[in-house]
Structure 1
Amino acid sequence: MSSIELIDTSVRDGNQSLWGATGLDTGMMLQIAPVMDRVGFGAIDFTTSTHMAVAVRFKQENPWERIRLMRETTPNTPLSFLTTGMRFISWEAASHEVMSLAFQLLVNAGIRRFAIMDPMNSIDAMLTMADLTRKAGGETNVAALTFTLSPMHDDAHFATCTAKLAKSGKFDRIYLKDPGGLLTPERATTLIPALKMVMGKTPLEVHSHCTIGLAQFSYLEAATHGAQSLHTATRALANGTSQPPADMVARNLRDMGHGVDIDDAALAEMDNYFSALAVSEGLPPGQPQEFDRSYFRHQMPGGMMGTLKRQLAETKRLHLLPQVLEEAEQVRADLGYPIMVTPFSQVVATVAALNVINGERYKTLPDEVVRYVLGRFGAPTMPLDANLEDRIRSSKRAKELDDEPHMASIDELRRKLGKDLSDEEFLLRAVMPADQVDAMLATGDARRTYDPSHKPVKSLISRMAARDDLHSVEINKPGFKLEMLRT
């Protein structure tokens, strides 16, 4: 039996899948980072451009500073950045010079590993990004080939793509990415050997989700058939629509005779911290999922499922979720079976939700759908519904978007935004609303520490400060004294 490496996904995919990507801030990550560094993970799946945007928009925190601080506290474990195609934060495809700048800034901040994914599994696009990340100084390139189900995505298709990636010489590892948790144990017994046969000595990683309860079983089959690395999360951020829990995966692998070289005590400390954080912040820990065969039809990935639930809840429409998921199956087919991964899972989910809310199919079409049909994200996997394609292409909005310029060059953007900006601020302003970047800068430095046990005291103080009838408060307990006076 072989030794199996674990890649941690807690702060990126676990946070996104279970807590809508907004559950953790910089201080929460930094507090546990030294412990994570001791566990012995092969890498930490740390961020994407989408998560960087969330840091700015929802936390008013500098995402570049977050990477730097995390890098300082995890010197032994590479931080990984997942690409979502030739785009950075913006939905629009970016120029090579914009992507080159983004990758260079990520390397400068502390990203050592790039998981290179294209939402259409475009091999050419992945090879281009690999050249750009390597030129920027990235230490490890991992080709992230996205698993999906459609009439064309059989084992031979994935093996052909894998062979091209492995033979290019541009990737150090290959990573089978299963965002919907659709890889069954039975499929793993045929697909993993098919990939290994064409990969040579290139290591294979497997990343799946527990969305319908299959990932833990599929992981064991993947390891048996040659996968060297598995993506897992800490207890509170595992299960549900996230990855399998690291401690249980390690236990099962060892029971089968595999080696798993991690510090179990450090992993337990990490589990305890995030479990306490979840309780303190009122965040729901992941729970084991029941098998739901409908996922094989709509294929909504774990991260998008968490975001979709949050967005429907915010508009008091969470009860519509079953209808939206059912509608997503039809939308995906009409759009030519796009792979359900960023940004296409967002496109499909948004259109499905609008169809259900409006009570009419395709009454409202976001610009991203029009751009998709116009080919701005690449060529669709399969033909689109002819009537829908004709309707969109002949629309007034399609003509307007077809005539719009693509993202401006760096020189044009600098003339527009200001030549005195730092590269980091410039890039954020180039792809995000100015008021969100302004709010981030006005907020100042993010907190560097976090203690879950302090949350009840802070909540109590906040509630007391809001009361007009209290003029003074004194709290005394052994080793602690707090006095508050209204002035």
Structure 2
Amino acid sequence: MTDVTLIDTTVRDGNQSNWGATGLDTGMMLQIAPVMERVGFEAIDFTTSTHMAVAVRFKQEDPWERLRLFRAACPTTKLSFLTTGMRFISWETASEELMEFAFRLLVNNGIDRFAVMDPMNNVPAMLNMAQITRKAGGGQIVAALTFTLSPLHDDAHFADAARRLTASGHFDKLYLKDPGGLVTPERARTLMPALKAACGAAPLEFHSHCTIGLGPFSYLEAAEDAPCLHTAAGPAANGTSQPSMLNIIANLRDLGHSVDVDDEAAAEMGAYFTALAQAEGLQHGVPGEFDRAYFRHQMPGGMMGTMKRQLAETKRLHLLPQVLAEVEKVRADLGYPIMVTPFSQVVGTQALLNVLSGERYATVPDEVTRYVLGRFGAPAMPLDPQVEDRIKSSKRAKELEAEPKMASLDELRARIGKQYSDEEFLLRAVMPADQVDAMKAAGPARRIYDPKSRPVVDLVKGLTAKKGLGHVKIEKPGFTLELKGGAA
């Protein structure tokens, strides 16, 4: 049978899919990094530019520091960065100069694997991005071919794209990226052999989600032709995330496949994230029930997690079914874009606004307008003429059409200031200054984390917040904590 290797997605896609990308901070990742190093992963799916922005915006943590520290704690396992087209953090289309600069900084700070994805599966664009990445010093470069359902996207279509990508010599590997968890076991039996034949000597990987419960079954069908599978640990698995690492290992071995990992380290990693999720009140992923509606709206796991978080924060989670129905309509209006970053955000955000406002396209975000103006390329099918005309004829569309091209790095340096490091300068070039200022003011991220200490920390915070409380003593066998307030 087949020797199967694993790519771990816990800190990136698992965190995003099940916890809206905000569940983990730097200390939580660093605590388990040495154990992850021991497991024997082929690579760790570590970050994207969007996740770097989340570190700044929600955690006030420096994503470059996070990368360097994790690299030091996990020195030999490849750390992977996923590109999402010609953009870095900002929704704006970036210049090749800026992308090469960003990739060079990623390499310098510890990234040694790049997964190159184009949100339209545009082969020339992916080849160009691979060349930019290689020029910037990228080590292993992997083509991420995104799966979707439409009359156009049959096995022959994907095989042709895979052949063109791998025959170029610009890619070391190829993986099929199934963000919606839509590859059925039956489709895996035909698609994976077709991709394997098209890739020639280039190894094949498979990345899917458990959103409607298909991922664990499709992985077992795919393993013979795609002997590198993307999994996540503990509660960061299942849900809208990837299949569970320990479960997939057990099932692969039961079929006779070999999975060469350190079982003790894998179990320790799973136990750590289980304890972390319990301490932090994070949802423990469970396999999703089969829901045929996903074959229509095709909402990917990461965006589904983010959308649920946004609705829950505004106490409107009950609107999720209505929003998903609207996603299907908006996707049709916009020419059936592949539901992957940034298009899943474009479609999902517009659908959410349509439902919340009660009027379709009453509010149109700039990202949607730029999409309609063709800034992200041409969709596979025509846009709805009425929607296209409404958006293109708007005042905001004319303003965006008149926008100057992104400034050069020299121009950005002159505008932002030359006193910053390259890493901080890049953040300031693509993010609001106040968010970067808040990150800097917060100081270095914590380096350690112990899920067992969370209840004590919460108790101390609650007690110290009480007014008029001058003396607190907590005792249990082998432990005493005494706090005394100062004079009023």
- TM-score range relative to shorter protein: over 0.9
SS in 2 for 1:4: strand
Q: Which runs of 5+ in 2 are unaligned?
A: none
**What is the identity, as a one-letter code, of the residue corresponding to 2:64?**
W
Number of the residue aligned with 2:270: 271
Deviations along 1:127-170, whole A, 9 cap, x unmatched? 11111211222110000000001121111111111011010100
In structure 2, what is the Cα distance between the partners aligned to 1:468 and 1:403? 56
Alignment of 1:166-315 (within 5 A): 166-224=166-224, 226-315=225-314
SS in 1 for 2:174: strand
**What is the identity, as a one-letter code, of the residue corresponding to 2:438?**
A
Number of the residue aligned with 1:418: 417
In structure 1, what is the Cα distance between the partners aligned to 2:346 and 2:313? 19
Deviations along 1:48-85, whole A, 9 cap, x unmatched? 00000000000000000100000001112110000011
**What is the identity, as a one-letter code, of the residue corresponding to 2:378?**
A
Q: Please report the RMSD computed on the Cα atoms of aligned residues, expressed in angstroms.
A: 0.9
CA shift at 1:360, angstroms? 1.7
Number of the residue aligned with 2:30: 30
Residue 14 in 1 paired to residue 14 in 2?
A: yes
Number of the residue aligned with 1:103: 103
Alignment of 1:150-165 (within 5 A): 150-165=150-165
SS in 1 for 2:46: strand
Residue 350 in 1 paired to residue 380 in 2?
A: no
**What is the identity, as a one-letter code, of the residue corresponding to 1:453?**
K
**What is the identity, as a one-letter code, of the residue corresponding to 1:61?**
E
In structure 1, what is the Cα distance between the partners aligned to 2:128 and 2:69? 29
SS in 2 for 1:41: coil
In structure 2, what is the Cα distance between the partners aligned to 1:383 and 1:154? 19
**What is the identity, as a one-letter code, of the residue corresponding to 1:143?**
A
SS in 2 for 1:483: strand
In structure 1, what is the Cα distance between the partners aligned to 2:359 and 2:405? 31
Number of the residue aligned with 1:321: 320
Deviations along 1:278-334, whole A, 9 cap, x unmatched? 000010110121101100000000000000001111122111100000110010011
CA shift at 1:406, angstroms? 2.4
In structure 2, what is the Cα distance between the partners aligned to 1:62 and 1:29? 14
Number of the residue aligned with 1:458: 457
CA shift at 1:478, angstroms? 3.6
Bigger CA drift: 476-485 or 301-310? 476-485
In structure 1, what is the Cα distance between the partners aligned to 2:363 and 2:477? 62
CA shift at 1:486, angstroms? 0.9
CA shift at 1:469, angstroms? 3.3
Bigger CA drift: 383-392 or 261-270? 383-392
In structure 1, what is the Cα distance between the partners aligned to 2:404 and 2:175? 34
CA shift at 1:476, angstroms? 2.9
Number of the residue aligned with 1:473: 472
**What is the identity, as a one-letter code, of the residue corresponding to 1:252?**
N
CA shift at 1:431, angstroms? 0.4
Bigger CA drift: 336-345 or 396-405? 396-405
Deviations along 1:380-417, whole A, 9 cap, x unmatched? 12111112112222222211110111221111111100
CA shift at 1:37, angstroms? 0.5
Bigger CA drift: 134-143 or 43-52? 134-143
In structure 1, what is the Cα distance between the partners aligned to 2:464 and 2:393? 59
Deviations along 1:344-368, whole A, 9 cap, x unmatched? 1011111111111122221211111
Number of the residue aligned with 2:41: 41
CA shift at 1:378, angstroms? 1.1
Q: Which runs of 5+ in 1 are unaligned?
A: none
TM-score (normalised: structure 2)? 0.98
**What is the identity, as a one-letter code, of the residue corresponding to 1:156?**
A
Deviations along 1:251-285, whole A, 9 cap, x unmatched? 11111111100011100000000000000001011
**What is the identity, as a one-letter code, of the residue corresponding to 1:52?**
M
% identity of equivalent residues:
72
Number of the residue aligned with 2:337: 338
In structure 1, what is the Cα distance between the partners aligned to 2:51 and 2:242? 18
In structure 2, what is the Cα distance between the partners aligned to 1:305 and 1:159? 28
Deviations along 1:461-480, whole A, 9 cap, x unmatched? 01111112321112233432
**What is the identity, as a one-letter code, of the residue corresponding to 2:304?**
M
Bigger CA drift: 25-34 or 363-372? 363-372
**What is the identity, as a one-letter code, of the residue corresponding to 1:95?**
S
Bigger CA drift: 87-96 or 464-473? 464-473
In structure 1, what is the Cα distance between the partners aligned to 2:391 and 2:343? 17
Number of the residue aligned with 1:89: 89
Number of the residue aligned with 1:114: 114
Number of the residue aligned with 1:442: 441
Bigger CA drift: 321-330 or 387-396? 387-396
SS in 1 for 2:258: coil
SS in 1 for 2:194: helix
**What is the identity, as a one-letter code, of the residue corresponding to 1:313?**
A
Residue 483 in 1 paired to residue 482 in 2?
A: yes
Residue 137 in 1 paired to residue 145 in 2?
A: no
Residue 391 in 1 paired to residue 393 in 2?
A: no
Deviations along 1:80-107, whole A, 9 cap, x unmatched? 0000111000001100110011000000
**What is the identity, as a one-letter code, of the residue corresponding to 2:350?**
V
**What is the identity, as a one-letter code, of the residue corresponding to 1:170?**
H
In structure 2, what is the Cα distance between the partners aligned to 1:106 and 1:411? 20
In structure 2, what is the Cα distance between the partners aligned to 1:249 and 1:450? 28
In structure 1, what is the Cα distance between the partners aligned to 2:406 and 2:299? 29
Deviations along 1:435-477, whole A, 9 cap, x unmatched? 0000000111000000000000001101111112321112233
Number of the residue aligned with 1:5: 5
In structure 2, what is the Cα distance between the partners aligned to 1:55 and 1:72? 19
**What is the identity, as a one-letter code, of the residue corresponding to 1:64?**
W
